Amino acid sequence: METSEETAKESTTVEKKITKLIQQMTVDEKIGQLSLVNSIYGKISKSLKQTIADGKIGGILNEVDVNVVNELQRIAREESRLGIPLLVGRDVIHGFKTIFPIPLGLSSTWNTEIVKQCGRISAREASAAGINWTFAPMLDISRDPRWGRIAESFGEDPYLSCELAKAIISGFQGDDLRNPDCIAACAKHFAGYGASEGGKDYNTTNIPENELRNVYLRPFKAALDAGAVSVMTSFSDLNGIPASANVFLLKQILRHEWHFEGFVVSDWESISQLSVHGLTANNREAAYEAANAGVDMEMVSRTYADHLADLVREERISEDQIDIMVSNILRAKFRLGLFDTPLTKTDRAGNGKPHKHLEAAKQSATQSCVLLENRHGILPLSKKELSSIAVIGPLADDPYEQLGTWIFDGDRDLSQTPLNAIKAIVDDSTEIHFCRAMETTRSKTRKGFGEAIKVSEKSDLIILFLGEESVLSGEAHCRADLNMPGNQNELIDEIAKTGKPIILVIMAGRPLLLEEIRKKVDSILYAWHPGTMAGPAIADLLFGIESPSGKLPVTFPRAVGQIPIYYNHKNTGRPATDESIIKIDDIKPGTPQHSSGDTSFYLDIDNLPLYPFGYGLSYSEFKYSHLKLDKHRIKSGESIKINFDLTNTGRFEAEEVAQLYIRDLVGSVTRPVKELKGFKKVRLRAGETASISFELATDYLAFYGRDSKLITEPGKFHLWVGGCSDTDLCAEFEIIE
Ligand code: BGC
């Protein structure tokens, strides 16, 4: 680790090198640096070679053959006039060869160490292929499970997203980006993409500035504070200005307020798409708007390459502005040490310790699964008491579908499926009867149902593997109906008729609707898409080698009509109470309009979500007690020490995520009814009590007020601790003038 003096000295040296290099560059070479070009997997075309040799490319994306990457770097270093190396970008989102749970699953671990380790291993594997830049983490706050990209997010909460952003970035970028196994991170998609209207991808977003700052921007700020090298703009239109031309986001916030020194890359063709949005009439104007807003590098489309030089000649864009854009990119190349070591040692391919990577994949998958239901403690299963198990469903033995979205390079041959892992874990005397039942989760025939019923009838218990295949979530894969696709509900109905106990394991990229399903099964383990080691992780949980410890990073609605539904909502002026809610079936004909308490609820559905944020069962039980604050009145700048006891009152050794929430009772802008402000994952033996403490500084209570400034206001707060956002162990404190 360097001292701050060394860092300052080094950055002055780098700035001098950048200035010297820029002085030697022609306008065309400068514009070349701004261009990020898609490669043609594994091929080096004559024209690509020539363009690199001419200094007209700043980076490539989607090339993973280390020999090809090295040859392109060699051309850049040796054949181009100024020898500037290339950025080599790739979507390494939840693993490279070894696949970890989808980000929403990683988020369910509430374990920053594990998330950091996933980033570290991803970087190690990807850098062996010559990749020096990942397009991750995705930090879009997601409150809408219809949106396919919720799978790529850390969920609905700014605090959890901030903590996990810092963790994964430190994993990707390591201690020193110049190390050969470190890669640059890219915080994306800046900003507000998660608020796409109707949960439909690429859709318009309208987010008031206060909400933008208090919710959507926070994870980005945390990512930049953690040193993220780059930021990617969003495809979406924010309050009327597409993000790739949004001066408020890119100049005002990113550069003026946050002093970001890294570079901004557009999303795929999002600059040329400014014309499709109807913001600009043509590519030349699109290039003007994006450059003027501060997008440094253009991904795939060529508006900069084709028009920036003319815009400079016409003096609409100054050469100084181009120099700033180029220097932002060169700074990253220096930080990555690419001028010194542009080539990747080819014997690094496949290096690392694959078994350690698999172990980490298993651990993260184990911790990502959330136990939603466990009637009569049916789980964990006892190997001894079961002579036969039916394993049923299209996701029980599918090495590909368990991997999830964004697995371009994922090695499906490494995948270990639940079926094989269950077979490996049970005693020889236990018979496993497998039936896929449906070809895919979307199948609409009942062809396999007969066989599924047959194997169910001859088994003691049924483990069903249902949900969504990988391709049903992720980019451009949104759904308006969040029921299990295809005939899966019918399959559950048929199997339930056998009267046998049913354990339902769901793999999915988003929260699905489970209100009816949960009545028909005995247990639900929500596994998201767990990645390479899905099988051993799930088998360990089912058979009690580990207790589930995942907690939900998003609220599960009861019906699509409740969306957006999230725990940190505002109170409204008329919040519902148990007494004020009336049910549609209870309304007598002729009842006057104001018969209810006129509060905020739906007539036709419960007001609460099905499962709240932070929820997740364990095989054990936990008691929170003796909540104490070291003081109840603090001044701005001070902090409170919070202490409480956490006791494992159950029969199993298990991990619990202790969560800390607050509510600011009165604010100059309305404040959420609850906000997460801390969490700790703790392992406790049966009967063990741990004393847990949190330190809550008033900085954590600051919010953006009426004039968009971060403020800490005096006033009263409630504070809760518990294993879920729906918790009632509460205390009060006050910030005084
Ligand atoms: C996605 C980005 C991704 C980029 C490069 C775009 O379609 O929105 O998240 O990084 O493609 O693959």
Q: Ligand 1 center to residue 188 CA distance, Å? A: 9
**Closest ligand 1 atom, CA of 152?**
9
CA angle 303/307/308 to nearest 5° reads 100
Q: Give the pLDDT of residue 596.
A: 66
User: Do the beta carbons of residue 184 and residue 338 sit within 8 Å?
Assistant: no
Tokens of 247: 């001066």
Ligand 1 centroid to Cα of residue 185, in Å, is: 14
| 190 alpha carbon – ligand 1 mean position (Å) | 12
pLDDT at 333: 98
The pLDDT score that the predictor gives to residue 593 is 81
- Among the atoms of ligand 1, which is closest to the Cα of residue 136? 10
Note the pLDDT of residue 8: 82
What is the DSSP code (8-state) at residue 397? S
Residue 140 CB less than 6 A away from ligand 1: no
Question: Could you tell me if 321 and 157 are in contact, meaning their C-beta atoms sit under 8 angstroms apart?
Answer: no
* Side-chain half-sphere exposure of 105, counting CA atoms within 13 A: 35
**C-beta of residue 287 within 8 angstroms of C-beta of residue 277:** no
Rounded distance, CA 370 to CA 391, Å? 20
Instruction: Annotate 149-168 with b (16+ C-beta within 10 A) or e (fewer).
Output: bbbbbbbbbbbbbbbbbbbb
Q: CB–CB of 156/143 below 8 Å?
A: yes
Q: How far apart are CA 381 and CA 308, in angstroms?
A: 65
Pick the closest to residue 660 from 611, 715, 724, 617 (CA basis): 724
The answer to whether the pTM exceeds 0.95 is yes
Q: Are 643 and 628 in contact (CB under 8 A)?
A: yes
Backbone angles phi, psi at 89, to 5 degrees: -105, 155
Q: Is 624's C-beta closer than 6 angstroms to any atom of ligand 1?
A: no
Alpha carbon nearest to ligand 1 atom 12, residue: 91
| Token duo for residue 711 | 């403020």
CB 267 less than 6 A from any atom of ligand 1: yes
Catalytic-role residue among 267, 397, 409, 664 = 267
- pLDDT score at 707: 94
Active site residue 347: no
- Residue whose Cα lies nearest atom 10 of ligand 1: it is 135
Residue 316: DSSP 8-state: S
- Find out whether the beta carbon of 216 lies less than 6 Å from any atom of ligand 1: no
Strand 35-38 with 59-61, pairing: parallel
Predicted local distance difference test score (pLDDT) of residue 9: 84
Asked if 242 contacts 277 with a C-beta cutoff of 8 angstroms, the reply is yes
CA of 123 to the centre of ligand 1 (A): 18
Q: Give the pairing of strands 87-90 and 689-697.
A: unpaired
Identify the residue whose C-alpha is closest to ligand 1 atom 2.
267
Distance CA 442, CA 437 (A): 12
Mutation to probe ligand 1, out of 38, 91, 407 (largest number of atoms < 8 A from CB): 91
- Residue nearest atom 7 in ligand 1 by C-alpha distance: 268
Distance 267 CA to ligand 1 centre (A): 6
CA of 468 to the centre of ligand 1 (A): 22
Q: Going from the first residue of the chain to its last (737 residues), give the mean pLDDT of each consecutive group of 10, the final group possibly shorter.
A: 75 94 98 94 88 97 96 97 98 98 98 98 97 98 98 98 98 97 98 98 98 98 98 98 98 98 98 98 98 98 98 98 98 98 84 83 98 97 94 98 96 96 96 98 97 98 98 98 98 98 98 98 98 98 98 98 98 94 91 81 95 98 98 97 98 98 98 98 98 96 96 97 97 96
- Whole-angstrom distance, CA of residue 531 vs CA of residue 533: 6
Pocket lining: 237 vs ligand 1, CB cutoff 6 Å: no
135, 232, 408: residue to mutate for ligand 1 pocket, most atoms within 8 A of CB: 135
Helical axes 283-293 vs 303-313, angle rounded to 10°: 80
Kindly list the distances between the CA atom of residue 144 and the CA atoms of 151, 372, 480, in Å, as whole numbers in the listed order.
11, 19, 10
Q: How far apart are CA 637 and CA 649, in angstroms?
A: 37
Cα of 407 vs centre of ligand 1, distance in Å, is 13
Ligand 1 and 201: CB distance under 6 A? no
CB atoms within 10 A of CB 544: 16
